Structure 1
Amino acid sequence: MARLTDPHNPHRLGLRSGAPGSGSRRRAVLILGAVTALALATVLALVLSLTGMLSERQDPSAAAPAQPAPIGTGDGESGPAAEAELAARPMLQVPLAAMQPHALSTRTAGPPIALPQPQQFVATLVPTGFPDTPEGAVAQLAELMKAGMSGGDPAVWAQVYGSLAESGALPARETWLSRDLVDLRRGAHFNTTGPLRNGMRMSWTPTSAMVKGSTSDGTYTVACVLGEFVADYNGRVVTAGWGNCLPMRRVGEQWKVASGPTAAPAPSAWPASDEAVAAGWRDIQR
């Protein structure tokens, strides 16, 4: 078993995995501090679910590191084959325990990434209108994630994702994020979709980003964002670093989730930690 405590705030809980297993997803057994019986049952289920849902994709031996491309540069090719190779290219995966809050690094993966502001807010589920640059693609993904992760609801993610997906994009229910949200709710004994029980709130805030790569014509970029996931149950807080990558395509004046293969899983680490820096995550600057 593994123990999770925060000596500075007994109500703020991180995540720690148990011993590695094989086959189906590992489910860590966690002991939480002195809380009421109801809060203990709710938060324990939530933490157990969150620690297990990403375990298949957090094996550090599962993938070799992929160096993110410098902002503003392409990979030298374009077309469906180049896009598929870029999307599928594996990224560095970090230990599951790296998701939990822990010490920040003294190093950085590079200068902060300055993300532009959206220009379109009216009649859209997600702010849009970002420029035709890799930073614009990252900024669009950050807004998509922020809106889609609200409430930790797969139905919300599907609606938000669908509003920005071009024809031929992977269906929302088949994305990594949708599957993780389904597992999170199921493992925490919540309703599959819909509002959470009284006192429970979930949110995600972007903190870091990287550009995995772009095609030479600049119309296709695999963008990646990392953020802090927060689940708050009447003041008992579970936090974790949660990253995601999606292929983005410039369609007219907008960035859309691209058709074709989805991107390989992003490394999920606590923002600005050594593991996050090693994976290539850079601070977001607005």
Structure 2
Amino acid sequence: MGNGQAWSRTKIVAILVAAAAAALTLVGGAVAAVVLALAPADEPTTGAQPGPTPGGQGPGGPGAVGRDAIAAAPMLPVSPADATGGAPSTTLPGTIFVPNPTEVGPARVATGFPSTPQGAVGQLGAILVDVVQTMSIPRAHEVHRAWTEPGAGPAKDWVMTQNVAAFLDGAGLSGQEAGTRARVEAVPAAAQIKGVDGDDWVVVCVLLDMTASIDRTIDVAYGHCERMTWQQGRWVIAAGDPPAPAPSTWPGTDLAADAGWLTWQPETP
């Protein structure tokens, strides 16, 4: 679980340099560094191709081979700039209706989602929001321990743990937690179901609209995919190599639609 969608150290450095220049005119210094780790990698990443394959068994047939093919299928290439803005589309986007959580589960993460692909979307969204908003390496370990199946790999290699570490490092925050020194808010803006194999396994992707603040505020989009499996009445992150990186595109743009993102709409209670 250590490769895939990690935030780019090179991008962090570039933004820090730009922020330092901005400090000449901005009260509070080089605080634009907050965008740092939230930016996608400098090289184009891959994102969802239009027309995911829910309901199928993957190009390799049922079982592990088919599941690996679903997870590894390349997605639409995007650039780092696509995560930070874009003209609103004049076309109405597709919508995915996501169930609402009904209870608090292990490690105090919202849960109670049904055993449907849309339920897996909701559960992944709850996991990601918790880790991103906390920006704590110990918390990432706790969430990983509670929300992965055996064999999913150690928490230190989970891409989200590495992202938290990159954020703390790039922002110049000492220790393993942001605490009150930085504020990060994350809201699921869009999602997609990349592929399904049976009733208990799916690859889903969530696009977060993230706002990070130290002395000033930066907005950036971040897409993330995971294998999810239904175990003991809840969705958890499944074992296996990480899926191909999701496209980090500005929500509501034509490119976001081309990448397969559907606007996140909570189901009506």
Which consecutive aligned stretches of 4+ in structure 1 deviate over 6 angstroms post-superposition? none
Instruction: Give secondary structure in 2 for the equivalent of 1:244.
Output: strand
> CA–CA distance in 2 between the matches of 1:146 and 1:248?
16
Q: CA deviation at 1:132?
A: 1.2
Deviations 1:193-246 (A, max 9, x none): 124354x2112111100001111x221100100011111224x11110011101
The residue aligned with 1:130 is 113
1:46 aligns with 2:34: yes
Q: Which runs of structure 2 are paired with 1:115-154 in the superposition (5 Å)?
A: 115-121=98-104, 124-154=107-137
The residue aligned with 1:247 is 227
The residue aligned with 1:89 is 73
The residue aligned with 2:166 is 183
Aligned residues: 251
The residue aligned with 2:5 is none
1:35 aligns with 2:21: no
Q: CA deviation at 1:277?
A: 1.6
The residue aligned with 2:189 is 207
8 Å CA contact retained: 2:49, 2:258: no
> CA–CA distance in 2 between the matches of 1:257 and 1:202?
23
| Alpha carbons of structure 1 residues 256 and 95: separation in structure 2 relative to 1, 3 Å | same
The residue aligned with 1:59 is 44
| Alpha carbons of structure 1 residues 64 and 144: separation in structure 2 relative to 1, 3 Å | closer
List alignment gaps of at least 5 residues for structure 2.
Answer: 1-7
List alignment gaps of at least 5 residues for structure 1.
Answer: 1-22
Q: Which has the higher contact order (CA 8 A, sep 6+)?
A: 2
| Alpha carbons of structure 1 residues 44 and 122: separation in structure 2 relative to 1, 3 Å | closer
Residue identity (%): 30
> CA–CA distance in 2 between the matches of 1:129 and 1:169?
22
> CA–CA distance in 1 between the matches of 2:234 and 2:120?
9
> CA–CA distance in 1 between the matches of 2:35 and 2:105?
37
8 Å CA contact retained: 1:176, 1:265: no
Taking only aligned residues, the RMSD between alpha carbons, in angstroms, comes to: 2.5
The residue aligned with 1:8 is none
Output the TM-score relative to the length of structure 2: 0.83
Which amino acid is the alignment partner of residue 173 of structure 1? Answer: K
Q: Which of 48, 62, 70 is residue 78 of structure 1 equivalent to?
A: 62
8 Å CA contact retained: 1:66, 1:89: no
Instruction: Give secondary structure in 1 for the equivalent of 2:111.
Output: coil
